[in-house]
Amino acid sequence: MKKLNVAILGCGTVGGGTYDILLKNHDIIQERTGADIRVTRILDIRHREDIPDELYTEDINDIYNDADIDCVVETLGGIEPSTSFMLGAMKAGKHVISANKAAIANSWQELNKTADENGVKFLFEASVGGGIPVLTAIRGQLSCNNFLEVMGIVNGTTNYILTKMTEEGASYDDVLKDAQEKGFAEKDPTADVDGIDAANKLSILIALLFGKYVAPMDIPRCGIRHITQLDIGEAEMKGEKIKLIAHAVLNPDGTVKCSVKPEGIPKTHPLAGVSNEFNAVYVVGDMVGETMFYGKGAGALPTGAAIVGDIISLVK
């Protein structure tokens, strides 16, 4: 029986979801992969009552120096120490899987180069669209295409706010409070509502689709703070819905035009039907034509499922 030992850095919402899936669906995963996959170490200062205490450490060196750990799952969030920990794990010969769009987008080249130099895999399906397997499709099944365009609703918080403003006539401030109470929006929702989170995700999509790295800070960006009922009414009159769109197009000269901004989407477009906290990524390839990937872009189990999907592909 093959074995794969996993360490989780940060056992909060997403790391905890990953732990729960690996435990709850252990047998079906083993049946399908022929591998016994176990979490053998967790880096966190907070201990969950249902997780054995001996799995926990607060010292990253315990993970770097543990020769039995094959794969490190990074779900700490934030840019540091996450980036340093991922680079350290790669240099220690461990495969790395991450959901951390900010860290990945901001250190794209260094993370991929370090993984290559150390002969380990770096996988990050969970970083864009949570549980939606769009990156795997782009890198795999769709890879015969020249990609022409991507339009993504890749931030659940802003999609929830715009949906409630559109469907219920609610004000921006009231819906933001509601989104925070429901746990979609962060206490400090700046990265969501100002489009920073969507720009991080678009940077990753551009790198995979067009083979070009555009740093998140170089993506022209406008959030949704200024959107009013007047804007929503004007869009309605034109048969459109306002959505925060992460948009990139390949120009005929090979350059990429990109932006994150509120756009009026015709109600006939498949993205117009993507409501509440759901995400969708619409991708156009020269051979396949239009495709759209839809699902839950956040949350413990959807995002954890994407991480476990990456672990399974490592095993395979």
> Which one, 155 or 166, has the nearer CB to ligand HSE?
155
Minimum distance from CB of 157 to ligand HSE (Å)? 3
Minimum distance from CB of 194 to ligand HSE (Å)? 12
> Which one, 96 or 99, has the nearer CB to ligand HSE?
99
Binding residues for ligand HSE, rule: CB under 6 A, are 130, 155-157, 184, 192, 197, 297-298
- Identity (one letter) of the amino acid at 240? E
Query: d(Cα 215, Cα 106) in Å, to the nearest integer?
Result: 6
Minimum distance from CB of 169 to ligand HSE (Å)? 22
Given 201, 241, 243, 296, which residue is catalytic? 201
> Which one, 187 or 316, has the nearer CB to ligand HSE?
187
Minimum distance from CB of 262 to ligand HSE (Å)? 15
> Which one, 18 or 157, has the nearer CB to ligand HSE?
157
Note if 201 is an active site residue: yes
Query: d(Cα 184, Cα 181) in Å, to the nearest integer?
Result: 8
Minimum distance from CB of 270 to ligand HSE (Å)? 19
Residues 6+ positions from 106 with CB-CB distance below 8 Å: 79, 83, 200, 215, 216
> Which one, 12 or 56, has the nearer CB to ligand HSE?
12
Catalytic positions, written as ranges: 201
